[in-house]
Structure 1
Amino acid sequence: MGKTGALNALKAANLQHMLVQCGLNKSGTKLDMYHRLRLAAKHYEPVPATARVLSIDMGIRNLAFSLLSPAAPSNPQSEQAGNRKKSKSGSLVKEPLLATIHKWRRLSLSPVEANAVEGDTKEDFSPGAMAQMAVTLVQDVLLPLRPTHVLIERQRFRTAGGSSILEWTVRVNTLEAMIYAIFTTLRSLKLWDGKLIPITPMRVGSYLVEGSVEEAAPVVEAKMVPKVMKLKQQKVSLLASWIEAETKLEFPLETQAKEMAHDFLGNWNKAVSRKNERLEKVKATAKPEAGEPRKGTKGANEATYAAIRKLDDLSDSLLQGVAWLQWQENIGGLIQTEAWITASPEPSEEIEKSSDETEKQPKLRKERARKSRTKQSDSLTPLKKGRGRPRRPTQVDIVTNEKIANLI
């Protein structure tokens, strides 16, 4: 099948599904998505078993990170035969990849002013103080982990289209830029040989949560749950179910990561249990009048949200790393099953030309019709009236002119 035929055979919905499975942007025209997948395949490098993936969830008082490595399947034959499923496009996509978790921590970075009086804990967020804080973080905490891939959560200046930019958001973005600068400098000086990879949080959520929400542990939900908090709850619940199942994530015994996983699961189970108990008490009370919420439901939700906020950063850092490992595995699976994604040479200009011509045809027809009407109007003898302004041609004039043009 030729390149043009391969593009025409693909549906936009299928391309979008592949892009989501690979952690790529799914917006744009069909041709844009086609090129995006081919570009990802061109730059694809399999993640070695010895890779040490450092996943960072940005923050100052709530920075979290996890150190992962891809875990080899325990049974290669069963993994090849039964651990793949068909996507909407018919291509084989690997099931969630197992990962080994070596470190999993949450830090609070609060730069204290150097000239502060003893007992005064005034924080200093000047560029110099934040630069020293970033250097200490990278040099004393992150570099000793010997990461080969550093995934950094991409920060946004605005949330939900807000017009204002919060001061705390600027601080986190400043720290993010400094971490990039430090790692880039270390790499240019040959002191660190790794890769810096920005990760968009929305793509992690849309891939793991929306695609795997049925795997999450059952949670009693109120009818009115804020969308953002609901997404956070789903992510924490999904990760808790993975830890409890002990099949998708591997935590080596007697390690800090194992202790953190135990605490994470315990705190989540306590939060769910408390919420369910409160909701049971609410159900036991008298039924409220129509249109009024049951008293106590709001308190149950707020208690759960407080627990989620404490676990959200930890879950984000770990899910981000697991999602990236799966994206790389999925790109490799598409390369093996979809011939067009690596077909040489590169996508030819014929595809772009045919696509552009198809998109331009309606515009060309409109332009030709407009020019035809203008030409017909100019060919008519203007009949001046009043102050010499030409009168507008009537429908009779246009029809007559068309007949004359046809005779010619």
Structure 2
Amino acid sequence: MPVPKPWLEELTLNKLHRLATALGTSCSGTKLARIEAIHRAISNTVGEGDNRSNLSNLSLLSIDMGIRNLAFAHLTAPVEEVVRPLKHVRYSRPTLQAWRRIAVAEFLNSTRSSALERSKDTAVELAGATKESFEPIDYARHAYNLVKYMLQTYQPNYILIERQRFRSGGQSSVQEWTLRVGVFEGMLYAGLRTLVEEYQLQLGVEPMLPPRVNRYWLEGRQGLLASKNKRLVGRDVKKAKIDLVGNILGGQSSTICIGEDIQPEAADFVSRWNKVSKGERAAATNMSKLDDLADSLLQGLAWIHWQNNRRRIEVLGRDAVDMESGTLW
């Protein structure tokens, strides 16, 4: 059922900001703009309603964009039914089934199995071993082969793709490398659309804005982006996200389950994270590799949480929200 407008209009701008953060939608603009953004988010919830048949078990592929450092996480989550205070369905605790960081050209030019194995530690080095082509005709082939491989291997019903920004950190110039990644991003969408139309696949594809993901994890949960005294930027944001994933995988969180096949990768992440935390010599290189993996995982987990939060508000309305703070109960 639709969310009534009156109770949303009772919330102040700051409270609407907190609610929008929990739903993964826009936090900027006038009060009316924020309310409309919240309504759009709720109306776009996957599998609306309280019927289990409206929502399928999730197979989610979350992609952190790159060419020499593309990372992806495959998460699965069964549907469960919640009966109190009102009956509704949601995704239960997700399981991390696959987690990779690859150099695209090397990955696709090698045999698939050996490329995956080698890419764990040497993605950047392998990419630089041979002359790399950035011609559109070559990357069109890479994009098609990559999406076809991912669809066949992981059989996702939703794919998230990190949205690229041409400028970051207030820079006025546009770096050539960001243009290349942006072109490749567009090719992934085109390849996916072609395969969806050709084979009539039941597949949702969504862009993910990094600021919204960062806001959810670092502001919504820790207040680090909102506090003027603790505001994180640049490298500190990366480290905070790596720390989050390190704590999740290190057993300090019940956020996810770790699939049996992926446990070595999870253990390797925690090992590298511990070295970064201790400030060892290879920390800078380790941090770069961990950052891409952390982004792909947090992006996927945030989307799952957003879907559950949106569905909860759809069913419970104002009873899902603490009207004094704008946070979800």
Please give the range of the TM-score, normalised by the shorter of the 2 chains. 0.7 to 0.9
Q: CA 1:265–1:11 in structure 2 vs 1: closer, same or farther (change >3 Å)?
A: same
- Give the SS at the match of 1:54: strand
For 1:338, the equivalent position in structure 2 comes to 317
Q: Could you tell me how far apart the structure 2 residues matched to 1:340 and 1:269 are? A: 41
For 1:21, the equivalent position in structure 2 comes to 22
**Is 1:54 aligned to 2:49, yes or no?**
no
Q: Could you tell me how far apart the structure 2 residues matched to 1:51 and 1:249 are? A: 14
Q: Decide which of 226, 235, 238 is 1:232's aligned counterpart.
A: 238
Q: Could you tell me how far apart the structure 2 residues matched to 1:336 and 1:157 are? A: 38
For 2:248, the equivalent position in structure 1 comes to 242
306-315 vs 176-185, greater mean Cα deviation: 306-315
Q: CA 1:39–1:267 in structure 2 vs 1: closer, same or farther (change >3 Å)?
A: same
CA contact (8 A) 1:63 1:313 kept: yes
Alignment of 1:47-196 (within 5 A): 48=55, 50-71=57-78, 98-110=93-105, 121-196=130-205
For 2:10, the equivalent position in structure 1 comes to 9
Aligned length: 283
Question: How many Å apart are 1:102 and its aligned residue?
Answer: 1.0
For 1:288, the equivalent position in structure 2 comes to none
Q: Could you tell me how far apart the structure 2 residues matched to 1:165 and 1:149 are? A: 31
Alignment of 1:370-381 (within 5 A): none
158-167 vs 56-65, greater mean Cα deviation: 158-167
- Give the SS at the match of 1:52: strand
- Give the SS at the match of 1:212: coil
Q: RMSD of the alignment, in Å?
A: 3.3
TM-score (norm 2): 0.76
Q: What letter matches 2:104 in structure 1?
A: L
Q: Which has the larger radius of gyration?
A: 1
Question: How many Å apart are 1:144 and its aligned residue?
Answer: 2.3
Q: CA 1:38–1:213 in structure 2 vs 1: closer, same or farther (change >3 Å)?
A: closer
**Is 1:268 aligned to 2:273, yes or no?**
yes
Q: Which runs of 5+ in 2 are unaligned?
A: 48-53, 86-90, 110-128, 225-229, 321-329
CA contact (8 A) 2:245 2:294 kept: yes
Question: How many Å apart are 1:49 and its aligned residue?
Answer: 5.2
Q: Specify which structure has the bigger relative contact order, considering alpha-carbon pairs within 8 angstroms and separated by 6 or more residues.
A: 2
TM-score (norm 1): 0.62
Q: Could you tell me how far apart the structure 1 residues matched to 2:232 and 2:303 are? A: 27
CA contact (8 A) 2:58 2:79 kept: no
Q: Could you tell me how far apart the structure 2 residues matched to 1:209 and 1:304 are? A: 22
Q: C-alpha offsets along residues 304-362 of structure 1, whole Å, 9 cap, x if unaligned?
A: 33321110000100000000000011111212232699xxxxxxxxxxxxxxxxxxxxx
Q: What letter matches 1:101 in structure 2?
A: L
Question: How many Å apart are 1:161 and its aligned residue?
Answer: 2.8
CA contact (8 A) 1:64 1:104 kept: yes
**Is 1:308 aligned to 2:299, yes or no?**
no
CA contact (8 A) 1:111 1:123 kept: no
Q: Could you tell me how far apart the structure 2 residues matched to 1:4 and 1:168 are? A: 44
- Give the SS at the match of 2:76: strand
Question: How many Å apart are 1:213 and its aligned residue?
Answer: 3.8
Question: How many Å apart are 1:258 and its aligned residue?
Answer: 1.6
Q: Which runs of 5+ in 1 are unaligned?
A: 82-95, 115-119, 216-223, 276-299, 342-408
Q: Could you tell me how far apart the structure 1 residues matched to 2:6 and 2:196 are? A: 43
Q: What letter matches 1:105 in structure 2?
A: R
Q: Could you tell me how far apart the structure 1 residues matched to 2:232 and 2:298 are? A: 21
CA contact (8 A) 1:97 1:326 kept: no
Q: What letter matches 1:244 in structure 2?
A: G
Q: Could you tell me how far apart the structure 1 residues matched to 2:21 and 2:5 are? A: 23
Question: How many Å apart are 1:244 and its aligned residue?
Answer: 1.2
